[in-house]
Structure 1
Amino acid sequence: MKQVATLFVLILTLMSTGCSEQAVTPTGESKTPTETDAKSGEKGHTPGEQPAPLEEEKSKEWIVNRLVEISRHYFSQMEETTHQELPFEVFRENLQRYMTDRFIDQEQLEEFYKGGVGQNRLFLFHYEPGTLKARTTILEHTEDRIVVKTMWFANELNSGYYEISTLRKSGGDWLLDEKRREETPKGGFQLTPQEAEIYLKNFPYAEKPIQSVKYVGNKTLDAHKDFGLFYQFDGDGETYYISPFDGYVLSGDLEHY
């Protein structure tokens, strides 16, 4: 028993001596955490952890939703303030979380608002979810500026064209800062059947959303004087034709929507 007790005391002594040696500061100049981080290039972050980006890149889906939100807000506020016969200043204030002052002034919204008649460049200002979801091209994306290229399909009032829209970040919100028109090239949009299908599933002129869309094939129609080639679709049992050139849409009885 004495031998066991002596051995136990010896072990404790050795362990105590080892701990004391580890607690001693190594020789040489010590480095502060800040100096170490600065040399490693990861100041303020644990090893292997990447610094968060300054601005999270917005997806096409987010941009599409923001443009649609701005469009709907514009029309809802226009209807509400004109119905209540409120001054333009109230309308402007309601738009400032969605549009820059530069955009409001350039588009002459005050003149249009006070006149109450006629058309300005925003008379048909809206973004159709179908065209944006079918094809939206990001031309520029920085911390405070996004530029996208979208489509405007042909109808009885307008031919098809591209639209260049600029969003600018201000006060934490992304605001519409500019909108300009760009004519389509000679070949038109060159819609794919897949893009046309996406548009028909979000067709703004259908009485109710089209749930089932099936591509049937190509068909040449005389109704379109310039370009007669159309994609034919079966949408919930009804026939639709859509031009891959300019997005012009006709129903089965060839009536334009």
Structure 2
Amino acid sequence: MSHSRIAFIGAGNMAASLIGGLRAQGLPADAIRASDPGAEQRARIAAEHGIQVFESNAEAIQGADVVVLAVKPQVMKTVCQALAPNLSGNPLIVSIAAGITCASLENWLGAPRPIVRCMPNTPALLREGVSGLYANGEVSAAQKTLAEQLLSAVGLALWLEEEALIDAVTAVSGSGPAYFFLLIEAMTAAGEKLGLPRDTAARLTLQTALGAARMAVASDVDAAELRRRVTSPAGTTEAAIKTFQAGGFEALVQQALDAAAKRSAELAEQLGQ
């Protein structure tokens, strides 16, 4: 990665997080370029990270070994079709746009190209994200390493054997932060109804969520075992867990993730046209 030149097409929040992560890992500023239609965003990225910025996508990708497509899915077709005549050599294309398949990207770019499609999530903004990555058949081993290093700059990067599994990644981790936020909302509201001041209920809930996540990440046993260890027979935790389960908690979670995965597949079909 230290000798690679990376161009970002789009310099929004996720691109900015990746750039910040790369710079923190020691990639020099002159190895990174970015383009964005917004003058204010270009100025902000240049000031924060010391990189070259461009209004023109074609200028940004000159000499790039890696081109990161970080634009909204709705404009990806237009952006790729305009980029196609300006792509020299055989740079790795990394797409972080939800719902755009490798086949659609190849079609819009006009030729088979090495493409890695990935699904990061919003905690990447704090470099605590997780991404599912899929490489098409044109990607070399060295390019796979580049893509993994790129996404590892903002968290955990996990490879997928099948592109269709991106929909499952979207359901589990891409959309996942919102599920935890919903639980945090609900627990805070419940604590308030039990008589706690809202601020106290919120702080108790947030710190509990953080502590539980850290315990699960650091543990050598799975979440089910951790749950059993804190659930005393006939105790308070068991009373709550039984109530969750009586309400069909596990089945509801499965239904929710199924719905998210189905919608991800539908969007891919719509956006790929």
Q: TM-score range by the shorter chain?
A: under 0.3
Largest Rg, 1 or 2: 1
Query: Larger % of helix: which?
Result: 2
Q: Going by fraction, where is strand more abundant, 1 or 2?
A: 1
Tell me the TM-score normalized by structure 1.
0.24
Q: Which has the higher contact order (CA 8 A, sep 6+)?
A: 2
TM-score where L is the length of structure 2: 0.23
